[in-house]
Amino acid sequence: MTGGTHQGPQVLLVDSNIERSRHLREHLASWGFAVTVAHDGYSGLRHIMSIWPELIVVDSELKGWSSSVVIDGAVRLGSRAPVIMLTEQGQNAASRSSRRRVIGIIENPNSVSELRAVMMNALTKVSTEGSGMGDSFDMA
């Protein structure tokens, strides 16, 4: 629901936890990413269609449409963006087909250093290997 002002890679953060998404958005913007935030799956898919992000960060515990619906919907829309899943330790909300698009899972969503490392790895993989619509990614 909010757009960033930076000119770096476009990241869509889909997180129903408003306080955490505000915190993560600040960090992502400070790292040079252009950040758009959605607080539910429906808004997330709408943003995917309008901004075509280079990377999607999605909360596994979304309200409304699940993270699997968002990931599968992004693929059906033609998004090539790799996905990073935010989850609490031990949870795995993504469907089997959705997990093929997930390049990394952050089990402590408040760990900004882990998120940054996985994001940089994802963007490096995409830039060196390409990201065709049918690509599956190895977990980071």
Which two tokens mark 27?
A: 């960090």
Q: Where are the alpha helices (DSSP H) in the chain?
A: 18-30, 41-51, 67-77, 96-99, 112-129
Task: Look at the alpha carbons of 7, 12, 17, 18 in this order and tell me if their dihedral is positive or negative.
Answer: positive
Q: Please give the Cα distance from 30 to 48 (Å, whole number).
A: 22
What global pTM score does this model have?
0.81
Q: What is the pLDDT of residues 100-139, one digit of tens each?
A: 678 888 888 878 999 999 999 888 887 776 544 344 444 3
**For position 98, what pLDDT does the model report?**
56
Residue with the two structure tokens 């400070």: 30
Class of the CATH-defined domain 13-129: alpha beta
First to last CA, the chain: 28
